[in-house]
Amino acid sequence: MLIRLLIYLLFAIAIVLVYRMKREFIYYVPIFNILADVSFNYFDAFSAPTILRAVVLTLFLVMFWEQLVKMDIMRAMYLFFFYILIILLFSGEMLVSFKTVAQVILSMSVFVAGYKYITNYDRYRKLLESLNWVIVAGFVAAAAGYVFDIGRTLEYTAGTQYEGEAEFIGLLGSGGLYGPAVALALLPVIMQNRYRNMPRWVLWAVSAGLYIFIILNVRRTAIMIPIIGFVSSLLFYRRQTKVLRYLFLFAVTLALLAPVYRPLLEKRVAARAELGRFEKGFIQTESRYTENLEMLRKIREFDDPLAIITGIGNNIFAEHIEQGKIVRRMYHSDTAKLVYGTGLIGLLIYLVIYGQMLVLILRIPRARILNEYRSAALTLWIISVFVSFNGSITLVTFRTMSFLLMGSFIGMANAVIKSHGAVLAVKRQKGKPA
C-alpha cells in the first residue's frame, strides 16, 4: 500500500512539474518514463499508472501545441496518426486498441518537441546530462532485483520446463532495460558533453554495472543496443580515438568483473539452451519469424482484401484479444503487428516515416561542427530499426527516448546550420573540412 501511494505521489509530482516547468520538463521525460516502468511492477497492465503516464506526456506535448499543429516536419508521421485513428474506429476491442494507439502517438510526437526545443548548446547539454540519471536509475532498478528478490523474473527460469527456482532480474525487466541501453549506446556523446554533474569514474562504473545486468538478462536485443551504439560511433563519429578508448576501458572493466557474474551468466545461458534456443534451425521456429511468415502467407492468399490492405476487420494493436480476454500470443515484431492491425497501407506509411527521418539525418552536412549530431541521430535511427524487428512499437519508454533524442540531434544540427550557414557554405565551396 505504501509503495502504491509513493507511485501516485510520483505521478502527482510529474504533473506539477509539467505545469510549472512547461517545456523544460523535456529534461525529465527520459527519467520519468523509466520510473513509470518501475511502477508497473505494483499494478496491473492497464491501470492507473498507464493512464497517468499518458496524462503527463499529453500535458507535456500541449506545451508544444503551436509547433505540433504547424505540421511543418515529418508530415508522414501526422498522416500515420490520422490513419490509425480512423482504423481505431473499426476495432472490436476499442479499449485495448485505443490504449496502444495513444501510446504510439504520444511516444512518436515527442520527436517534434525535441526538434523544436533543443536548439542551443545549453539545452542540448542539459538533455544529455539527464541521460546520466537514466543510466543510474536503470542500474538501481536492476540491482534491486538481485539484492531484495523483487520485481520481474527471468522468463527462461519462470516456466515449468525449468527445473530451478524463478530468478529475479529487477524492477524493469528485459524490455524495460531498452531505455537505459539507449543511454549506454550514446555514452561516447554523453561523456564528451559531461559537465561536472557526476564524476566520470562514477558514471563509468555505473554504466559497466548496468551493462552486466543487461547481459545477465540474456536477451539479444538489449545486449546489442549498446554494441550498435559503439560500432556506429566508430564508423560515423569523428572522435574515433576517444570511442576506442571508451570501448577498451569498457571491455577491460567487464573482463575484470567476469569472475563475479560469469557463474550466473553460464547458468542462465544453460537455461536458454534447455529450451532449445541455441539448437540449429531454432530461428525457423522463433515466433517473431513465424508471425511474419504468417503475414506473408495471408498477403499471398489475399482472402480478405480489405483487412490485408487497410487492417479493417482486425483489431488494431489488439490482435491477441477477443471479447476482452487474451486468446493468443500477441504479435511482437513491428512489421507483423502493423500489417495485421493497419494493413499494407499502414505499414507503407510507417516505413515512409523512417525514410523521412533518414533523409533529415543524411541532409546534415558532413562538417566537423555537425558530426556529433549527425552521427548520434544516425546511431539512434539504426538502433530503432534494429529493435523494430524484435518489436518496439508498444514500448513507450524506448520509443519516447529514441524519438525525442533523434528529434533533438536533428534540431540541434539545423540550429547550428542556421547560425553558421555562411561559414559552412564557404568551407564546402573551398573543399575544406569544416
Residuewise pLDDT in 10s, the chain (434 residues): 788 999 999 999 999 999 999 999 999 999 999 999 999 888 876 788 999 999 999 999 999 999 999 888 899 999 999 999 999 999 989 999 999 999 999 999 999 999 999 999 999 999 999 999 999 999 999 999 899 888 888 876 655 555 567 788 889 888 889 999 999 999 989 988 876 677 888 888 899 999 999 999 988 899 999 999 999 988 888 878 878 888 888 888 899 999 999 999 988 888 777 766 666 656 666 777 888 888 899 899 888 899 999 999 888 998 888 877 777 778 889 999 999 999 999 999 999 999 999 999 999 998 888 999 999 999 999 999 999 988 889 899 999 999 999 999 999 999 999 887 645 544 444 444 43
CA angle centred on 241, ends 239 and 406, rounded to 5°: 35
- The H or E element spanning position 153 is strand 152-153
pLDDT digit string (tens) for 392-408? Answer: 898 999 999 999 999 99
* Contact (CB, 8 A) for 232 and 366: no
Residue the block writes with cell 540531434: 409
Q: How far apart are CA 198 and CA 129, in angstroms?
A: 9
Distance CA 234, CA 361 (A): 17
**149: its cell numbers:** 528478490
Three state DSSP letters for 280-308: CCHHHHCHHHHHHHHHHHHHHHCCCHHHH
User: If you search the block for the grid coordinates 482472402, which residue do you land on?
Assistant: 303
Amino acid found at 305: P
CA gyration radius, the chain: 22
Per-residue pLDDT tens over the stretch 40-88: 888 876 788 999 999 999 999 999 999 999 888 899 999 999 999 999 9
Number of DSSP helices (H) and strands (E) in the chain, helices first: 19, 4
User: Residue 252 is which amino acid?
Assistant: V
Classify residue 331 by its DSSP letter: P
Predicted TM-score (pTM) of this structure: 0.92
Helices 371-390 and 396-430 meet at what angle, rounded to 10?
140
Question: Which residues, listed in sequence order, are joined to residue 322 by a DSSP beta bridge?
Answer: 325
Q: How far is Cα 228 from Cα 230, in angstroms, rounded to an integer? A: 6
CA distance 310 to 83: 9
